Structure 1
Amino acid sequence: MKIKVVPYLLPNVSLKDSGSYLECPIENLAEGLKANAYYFSHPEWAEEYLTYCHRSEAFRSRWAAAVGDWTDKIVVDIGCGPGNIFATLQGKPKFLIGVDVAPGSLELAKNLAYVPLLADATHLPFVSGFADIVVLNATLHHCDDMAAILKEAARLVKPGGLIVTDHDPQLYAWDYKGIAKLLWQARLYIYKITGHGFHKTDSQQEWGLACETHHKPGHGVTKEFFLTTLSPLGFEVKVYPHNHALGAEVLQGNKGRAELKYRIGNLLSGRNPSADTSALSLMCVAKRKNVETSAA
């Protein structure tokens, strides 16, 4: 496992081989990432996430259209968790690296043919420009500095290569106001009473919420965030708003329809629930320009 990754490492980098994953020591792990490490290392929770999250046909179709054929390509999955992207898309990439902070998740990812690496995604131990595709699914909003993560991901991409991100909440859609914000704050009690929600126990819910650093009113990604972060680095950036309901159609500009509760939340916040800025998530597909194209 360690031998495979050596050609792509920066000079003087030494990785520890735990047997189940490689490790690049992390100093001063932020509180949100500590929560991620705990949540996704909890065996039952990580297995549940791998089994039930990001498994819909819409998700598979959307990601397959965005990534294209990754046969014989070098792929880096940042925030890989237990391996959702590859578990859903399958295929035969030449080399598949999964980066995360949760040892338990990395152990599961290893079983899915990832080369798993525990590392700080703002300071990855890799050379620049070696990856054909870098993916970040539901990753940015779990991190303190979303721009730093995205810039580091961009550094790894070779000319002509891709960055694909998805499932980060769009800032405007979740910026609830007035009554909508009160309902948002009360949602946990509502879920507990109705038995609705992904988390089965109070502890799972508490740690799951602690992971969500930027998934709250006033937080999230924007189209401007992706453009201003990636365009100066030589990327052609396309951003697609969507509501998780559609697949490849999203890349043709179709958002799909959000669930009623989200549409009501936007209406109560004084926004048009059908507007692009009211869509729940943004998918970003950014291609690094070839050197010749950039020079021209």
Structure 2
Amino acid sequence: MLETIELPTLSQYLTLTTEIDWERTNIPTCKIPHWTPGMQANASFFSDPEYGRKYFELENSSQAFGNRWRAAIGSWDRKVVVDIGCGPGNVYAAVGGSPQIFGIDISHGALEHAMQVGYTPLLADAHNLPFIDGFADIVTLNAVLHHCDDMARVLTEAARLVRPGGVLITDEDPLSNNETYQGLALLVIEARARFPMYWLPGRSKVYKSPEEQAWRLATEIHNSKPGDGVTPELYINTLEPLGFEIELYPHYHNVGDELFRGEQGKLGFKDTLIQILAGANAPKPPQSIACIAKRVRG
């Protein structure tokens, strides 16, 4: 017979000063006093039934994505997990298992879908999380930081939730490579940012029309122009002073669990073309960086 355990509830991890509306909708909702344009874009886009469905089914849903996340997490069964910026639930859908998993997002529609996947949802601002310190075994952020106005603040808030011995895992945030792009390559990626629908190598396979591509681009607060994105220094300077040991894994998006055996994957067609335009001697930087940070000090 399987051992039965009492699962923790959301309310026991909230601060005493947290204001939550438990009744107006089916999603517990924190009061968010200030909405930036980027927050509004993310909340609206991922609440849209059509675009949210596309994101769940076609982005961050590959076999390589699932293999990479399962290898990074290991077993999270019976552990307390907080998935910040969970969207419609891609990480849990890819990893599976039986954690007690809380999904945090500012998109009501995304949280409704995540709840069907198995999350306990909470609508809240990642810049100001309503949780007590140090209660989570695992905190995850997949493709989240570059959607936030203040990436360092969100990373700090996420780190605050991790208990000693717990881990913080982030991935799928674009790696800043401003120094790589020059000359014609710089013009090309600027054109991709401004007119993604009309330049073939930059055309999205998921979002077809100019309207939906423009709306999707509006959610990418730190991924809309050359040089945007995260840097290794963001993780080092933010997390090490908070007591974390950090492992960083730059990679291309088609890599699976082999990432943790020293492979980074391969560059796709459109990005290979940009590198050719940048020049034969230009470096070939990976697209994203995964961070696995273990809290070794309280």
Is the CA contact (8 Å cut-off) linking 1:243 and 1:280 kept in structure 2? yes
Cα deviation digits, residues 85-116 of structure 1 (max 9, x gap): 011111100x2111111111111111111111
Is the CA contact (8 Å cut-off) linking 1:174 and 1:219 kept in structure 2? no
- Whether 2:229 is the aligned partner of 1:220: answer yes
The amino acid that maps onto 1:171 is: S
Structure 1 counterpart SS, 2:98 = coil
Instruction: Pick closer, same or farther for the CA change 1:52–1:137 going to 2, 3 Å.
Output: same
Structure 1 distance, partners of 2:239, 2:89, is 25
Structure 1 distance, partners of 2:87, 2:104, is 8
In the other structure, the counterpart of 1:202 is: 210
Is the CA contact (8 Å cut-off) linking 1:163 and 1:285 kept in structure 2? yes
Is the CA contact (8 Å cut-off) linking 1:173 and 1:279 kept in structure 2? no
In the other structure, the counterpart of 2:3 is: none
Query: Structure 1 stretches of 5 or more lacking a match?
Result: 292-296
- Whether 2:152 is the aligned partner of 1:144: answer no
Deviation above 3 Å: which 4+ runs of structure 1?
188-196, 266-275
- Whether 2:190 is the aligned partner of 1:185: answer yes
In the other structure, the counterpart of 1:60 is: 66
1:109-188 counterparts in 2 under 5 A?
109-172=114-177, 176-187=181-192
Structure 2 counterpart SS, 1:283 = strand
In the other structure, the counterpart of 2:5 is: none
The amino acid that maps onto 1:184 is: I
Instruction: Pick closer, same or farther for the CA change 1:193–1:240 going to 2, 3 Å.
Output: closer
Structure 2 distance, partners of 1:88, 1:274, is 32
Structure 2 distance, partners of 1:71, 1:199, is 35
In the other structure, the counterpart of 2:268 is: 259
Structure 1 distance, partners of 2:282, 2:112, is 41
Aligned equivalent of 1:80, options 82, 86, 94 = 86
Instruction: Pick closer, same or farther for the CA change 1:202–1:191 going to 2, 3 Å.
Output: closer
Aligned equivalent of 2:39, options 26, 33, 44 = 33
- Between 1:145-154 and 1:209-218, the stretch displaced more is 209-218
**In percent, how many aligned pairs have the same letter?**
44
Is the CA contact (8 Å cut-off) linking 2:191 and 2:199 kept in structure 1? no
1:124 Cα shift? 0.7
Instruction: Pick closer, same or farther for the CA change 1:171–1:194 going to 2, 3 Å.
Output: closer
Is the CA contact (8 Å cut-off) linking 1:21 and 1:116 kept in structure 2? yes
In the other structure, the counterpart of 1:44 is: 50
* TM-score (structure 2 length as normaliser): 0.90
Aligned equivalent of 1:243, options 218, 243, 252 = 252
Is the CA contact (8 Å cut-off) linking 2:159 and 2:239 kept in structure 1? yes
- RMSD across aligned positions (CA): 2.0
Instruction: Pick closer, same or farther for the CA change 1:74–1:272 going to 2, 3 Å.
Output: farther
- Whether 2:285 is the aligned partner of 1:283: answer no
The amino acid that maps onto 2:259 is: V
Aligned residues: 286
